[in-house]
């Protein structure tokens, strides 16, 4: 889930900063320390400004340390040049492999090429690379996520009105973000199939304050607004504030309830769904991204083996099963988007639940 610098922070926590500092402290270890028994897998993060990225890094860290290997994280803070420099610096420490969430899918290709020359396996998570030889890519089908979110709204409009009709607000995010752009494209295409649905796609840059303002103005223009969507959970707290101010923050089934469906599956979405205010959320799984990338590196790539193509199955994850296919840069696992609603929001396998309740990383 790539985001651009300067966008609303997605619930970055004080503990997240401390976590980043603790992880970064491993950078004081010398090259000889990394060469000790067990190996060394660093993680090149695009940012720690969003809860999603904090959890993704924590997943990589736990997986690496769980394999008795050394770990180090770098944080590029959405600075592409800095990330490329960090890749170069990490390569000098002769890592066993590297995991990264790239800022720029094209710019990272040259860095991957240098690692390929050194025969250092590369794993890419969240934001796929446009080129290079990548041992394993683990990411999310953002366009399908947008389609599925639209379908969840359409299903509920049909239940409400007897046919797919009504007024829907999409508070879409900054289109410079590949993830947010693809989510909007998926939603646009799905709603285009339903001429009786008045679909209002309005820009918010993915910012909480803009989502608040846009939702308030839309509710003034369309007092009977049926549904609202945000491409990520954290900035949608602006939508919630607007609904509260207009006395439309009602539970599912109550008079005046506005259908509310997002994407990502953060702890706040699980909370809203379990409280009865949010209808559904299409989720991705940053914990799985990090864990599976490290798993494939350790089991296969570091041993000089290709990651096998075929079904990946692990019941520890809510989605349980996905397909590793031959992608543009090598073996690729696109984790299938899945819907969280009132029937399954309490499942302890959701990443938002694990991050907050098991790992103790608070969401604010």
pLDDT at 305 over 50: yes
Q: Over the Cα atoms of the chain, what is R_g?
A: 21
Look at residues 12, 22, 23 and name the one whose alpha carbon lies nearest to residue 60: 23
pTM of the prediction?
A: 0.87
Q: pLDDT at position 177, please? A: 85
Per-residue pLDDT tens digits for 225-240: 999 999 999 999 999 9
State the Cα–Cα distance between residues 298 and 328, nearest whole angstrom: 22
Any idea what the Cα angle at residue 300 is, between residues 296 and 301, rounded to 5°? 85
Q: Could you tell me if 269 and 165 lie in one domain?
A: yes
Domain annotation covers residue 347: no
State the Cα–Cα distance between residues 63 and 293, nearest whole angstrom: 9
Count structural domains, the chain: 2
Q: Could you tell me if 118 and 173 lie in one domain?
A: no
Domain final residue, candidates 260, 283, 306: 283
Q: Could you tell me if 160 and 124 lie in one domain?
A: no
Helix (H, G, I), strand (E, B) or coil at 325: strand
pLDDT at 326 over 50: yes
Cβ atoms of 43 and 71 within 8 Å: the answer is yes
State the Cα–Cα distance between residues 71 and 43, nearest whole angstrom: 8
Domain annotation covers residue 31: no
**CATH number of 200's domain:** 3.40.50.2300
CA distances from 265 to 166, 229, 318 (A): 25, 13, 12
Look at residues 145, 211, 139 and name the one whose alpha carbon lies nearest to residue 172: 211
344 φ/ψ angles, rounded to the nearest 5 degrees: -135, 5
Per-residue pLDDT tens digits for 165-194: 999 999 999 998 889 999 999 999 999 999
Domain annotation covers residue 213: yes
Per-residue pLDDT tens digits for 100-116: 999 999 999 999 999 99
In angstroms, how far is CA 248 from the centroid of its own chain?
Answer: 28
What string of DSSP letters covers 50-64? SHHHHHHHHHHHHHH
Cβ atoms of 297 and 136 within 8 Å: the answer is yes
pLDDT at 20 over 50: no
pLDDT at 259 over 70: yes
Q: Could you tell me if 178 and 275 lie in one domain?
A: yes
Domain annotation covers residue 349: no
pLDDT at 94 over 70: yes
Q: Could you tell me if 301 and 246 lie in one domain?
A: no
Domain that holds residue 243: 142-283
Q: pLDDT at position 282, please? A: 98
Q: Could you tell me if 150 and 217 lie in one domain?
A: yes
Q: pLDDT at position 27, please? A: 36
pLDDT at 22 over 80: no
Q: Could you tell me if 183 and 268 lie in one domain?
A: yes
State the Cα–Cα distance between residues 144 and 186, nearest whole angstrom: 6
Q: Could you tell me if 73 and 174 lie in one domain?
A: no
Interhelix angle 286-299/51-66, rounded to 10 degrees, is: 30
Domain final residue, candidates 268, 283, 298: 283
Domain annotation covers residue 354: no
Q: Could you tell me if 89 and 162 lie in one domain?
A: no
Q: Could you tell me if 172 and 267 lie in one domain?
A: yes
Domain annotation covers residue 234: yes
Any idea what the Cα angle at residue 195 is, between residues 193 and 197, rounded to 5°? 100
The mean pLDDT value for 136-158 works out to: 97
Domain final residue, candidates 250, 267, 283: 283
Per-residue pLDDT tens digits for 212-227: 999 999 999 999 999 9
Domain annotation covers residue 19: no
Range with lowest mean pLDDT among 28-42, 43-57, 168-182, 257-271? 28-42
State the Cα–Cα distance between residues 79 and 81, nearest whole angstrom: 6
Domain annotation covers residue 264: yes
Look at residues 99, 113, 167, 175 and name the one whose alpha carbon lies nearest to residue 142: 175
Q: Could you tell me if 162 and 253 lie in one domain?
A: yes
Q: Could you tell me if 174 and 91 lie in one domain?
A: no
């Amino acid at each position: 889930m790539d985001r651009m610098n300067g966008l609303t922070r997605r619930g970055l926590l004080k503990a997240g900063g401390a976590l980043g500092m603790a992880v970064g402290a491993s950078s004081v270890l010398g090259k000889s320390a990394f060469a000790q028994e067990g190996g060394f897998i660093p993680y090149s993060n695009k940012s720690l400004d969003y809860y999603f990225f904090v959890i993704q890094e924590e997943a990589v860290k736990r997986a690496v340390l769980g394999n008795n290997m050394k770990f180090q994280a770098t944080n590029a803070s959405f600075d592409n040049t800095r990330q490329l420099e960090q890749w170069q610096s990490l390569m000098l420490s002769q890592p066993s492999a590297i995991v990264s969430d790239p800022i720029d899918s094209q710019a990272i290709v040259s860095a991957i090429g240098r690692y390929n020359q050194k025969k250092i396996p590369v794993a890419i998570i969240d934001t796929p690379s446009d080129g290079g030889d990548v041992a394993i890519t683990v990411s999310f089908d953002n366009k399908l996520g947008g389609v599925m979110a639209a379908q969840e709204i359409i299903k509920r409009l049909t239940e409400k009105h007897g046919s797919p009709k009504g007024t829907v607000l999409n508070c879409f995010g900054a289109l410079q973000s590949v993830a947010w752009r693809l989510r909007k494209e998926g939603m646009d295409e799905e709603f285009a199939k339903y001429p009786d649905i008045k679909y209002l796609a309005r820009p918010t840059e993915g910012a909480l304050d803009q989502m608040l303002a846009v939702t308030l103005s839309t509710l003034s223009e369309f007092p009977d607004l049926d549904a609202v969507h945000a491409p990520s959970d954290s900035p949608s707290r602006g939508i919630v504030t607007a609904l509260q101010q207009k006395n439309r923050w009602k539970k599912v089934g109550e008079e005046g309830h506005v259908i509310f469906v997002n994407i990502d599956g953060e702890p706040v979405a699980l909370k809203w769904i379990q409280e009865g205010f949010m209808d559904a959320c299409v989720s991705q799984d940053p914990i799985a991204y990090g864990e599976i990338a490290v798993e494939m590196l350790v089991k296969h790539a570091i041993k000089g083996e290709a990651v096998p193509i075929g079904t990946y199955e692990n019941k520890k994850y809510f989605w349980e099963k996905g397909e590793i296919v031959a992608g543009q840069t090598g073996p690729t696992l696109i984790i299938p988007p899945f819907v969280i609603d009132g029937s399954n929001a309490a499942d302890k396998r959701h990443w938002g639940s694990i991050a907050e309740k098991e790992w103790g990383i608070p969401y604010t």
